[in-house]
Structure 1
Amino acid sequence: MEPENPVDLGKSVNPVRIRGDLDPALSRWMWLVKWLLAIPHYIVLFFLHIAWFVVTVIAFFAILFTGKYPRGLFDFTVGVIRWGWRVGFYAWSPLGTDKYPPFSLQSNAEYAADVEVDYPENLHRGLVLVKWWLLAIPHYLVVSAFVGGGYMAFGDDYGVSWVPLLPILTLIAVVALLFTAVYPSGLFDFAMGISRWVLRVQVYTSLLRDEYPPFRLDQGARESENN
């Protein structure tokens, strides 16, 4: 006799889910000014990130002593990450929508970009001491290559510099959009994979989950449930 609600043990729902749906009717030129239109969001996000830092410090001690991330603080932190992702998706990379981001911390299925993080009932007390800096170092190195340029000196006369990958991919994509009215789907998927990697690391280092972020580019607008 089969159970009433069979469970597929081969699949699991990702505790961190990042969505970014490419608008099929993007304007050819609007990407030139969206960074400017988003200035009100930058101002709000500046203060939200100050609050995010304070909340993360409070959560650090709460997890250390109780093994729990206070639910109200958790929802706020996820909301700040969600807000930042929407603004980035709209104004910086991958510039996948022309719809203006909402001024909201809440999840919105109607908007093109969203972040969802499942609330953990318990978190490891000891892990909170090291995961945000020591354990995350390998990811910091990868993320810095994706989104930040740099220069490394080898003596007085020799050095190596590099430019960030994600902005270059986005620039190529929107220049193609300008001349062809089509956003290259392959570049969009790759940019989404990089953004998803970065956001997963942000969730982990914000102490929201204990699961170590995968070293994997999950490309495309939506990730599969069993990744």
Structure 2
Amino acid sequence: MVEYPPPAQQPMYPPMPEPIVGVDVFPPQQHRRWTVLLRVILAIPHFVVLALVGIALAVVAFLGWFGALFTGALPAWAGDFLRGALAYTFRVTAYLYLLVDVYPPFSFEVNANYPVQVLYPAPTRLNRWAVFFRFILAFPILVLTSWLSSGWMVISPIIWLIMLITGRMPAAVFQATAAVFRCQVRVDAYWLMLTPTYLSQVFGDGPLPEPSAVAPPLPYTPASPTRPLLTSKAGRVLLWVILVVGILWSFFNPSPNYSHHNEPTRTNHVEWGTP
């Protein structure tokens, strides 16, 4: 069994000036084609669990909002539950997005041994006005993430077919998919008051170094293929395509899906292939 290093033991790139949620994704060299073929069917048990988790998440988030509004900090018990529930949700999401091939464990453990690691910042004080107006402040990024998610779902049959034939996710597709996934993680963490940091760096942390005879040394040691998330020109172009497709889909879809962020674990947050 592959042991994925816990976040505390992973080499870090330069720290961010604000408490931001980090995401580590360790993709396999080769996906098993039969798991790609049956991905949604295999995930059905998780859909059942996510439906129940979504109810608990909504209740805890509501109570946590009141606690943060009056005390200026998310109650510890609420933060612990939300971090664990979201970590589980994000593992299932990454599995459905074909970023990884290992079946997600039914665990709320934040640092579970899985090729997807969510690195939450330490609990910090929250601005009460930002808590009170959380929905208004978060609305633009909720819509943006909805467009990205919808756009990815629309093109997902193409990605699924490529991976079914080759067993691999092309590098540019991985970068764009990881960027969409990371946006979902960070927006949900902000929406649920696990971090005061607003969404930024939607298109990654920077471009990939240009190929050269002698590659210049990096000023840091990457912790994973997604931390930092460096995107190629093809990856950024594909991300723009995903965004445009998502915007167009929202105009033709009679029921916009950004409202699902009220319940981050609902299955329409992670479904793919059936837009």
What is the TM-score normalised by the length of structure 2? 0.66
Aligned equivalent of 1:25: 30
Deviation per residue, 1:96-148 (Å, 9 max, x gap):
222111111112363111212123231111210112x111122122122112x
CA distance in 2 between partners of 1:21 and 1:178 (Å): 19
Aligned equivalent of 1:180: 166
Structure 1: 4+ residue segments shifted above 4 A: none
The structure having more radius of gyration, on CA atoms, is 1
Aligned equivalent of 1:224: 228
Q: What is the SS of the residue equivalent to 2:161?
A: helix
1:75 aligns with 2:42: no
Matched letter for residue 140 of structure 1: L
Q: What is the SS of the residue equivalent to 2:24?
A: strand
CA distance in 1 between partners of 2:28 and 2:99 (Å): 6
- Residues 39 and 64 of structure 1: is their aligned pair in 2 closer, same or farther, counting only changes over 3 Å? same
Aligned residues of 1:64 and 1:125 also touching (Cα < 8 A): yes
Q: What is the SS of the residue equivalent to 1:146?
A: helix
Aligned residues of 2:73 and 2:124 also touching (Cα < 8 A): yes
Aligned residues of 2:37 and 2:164 also touching (Cα < 8 A): no
- Residues 113 and 170 of structure 1: is their aligned pair in 2 closer, same or farther, counting only changes over 3 Å? farther
Q: What is the SS of the residue equivalent to 2:41?
A: helix
CA distance in 1 between partners of 2:141 and 2:182 (Å): 12
Identity of aligned residues (%): 29
Aligned equivalent of 1:161: none
Q: What is the SS of the residue equivalent to 2:146?
A: helix
Give the Å deviation of 1:193.
Answer: 0.3
What is the TM-score normalised by the length of structure 1? 0.79
Aligned equivalent of 2:89: 84
CA distance in 1 between partners of 2:65 and 2:111 (Å): 28
Aligned residues of 1:196 and 1:218 also touching (Cα < 8 A): no
CA distance in 2 between partners of 1:217 and 1:74 (Å): 28
Whichever structure has more helix as a proportion of its residues is 2
- Residues 216 and 96 of structure 1: is their aligned pair in 2 closer, same or farther, counting only changes over 3 Å? closer
Give unmatched runs, 5+ long, in structure 2: 1-12, 206-223, 230-275
Aligned equivalent of 2:126: 123
Number of positions where the alignment pairs a residue of Structure 1 with one of Structure 2: 197
CA distance in 1 between partners of 2:114 and 2:203 (Å): 23
Give unmatched runs, 5+ long, in structure 1: 1-9, 148-163
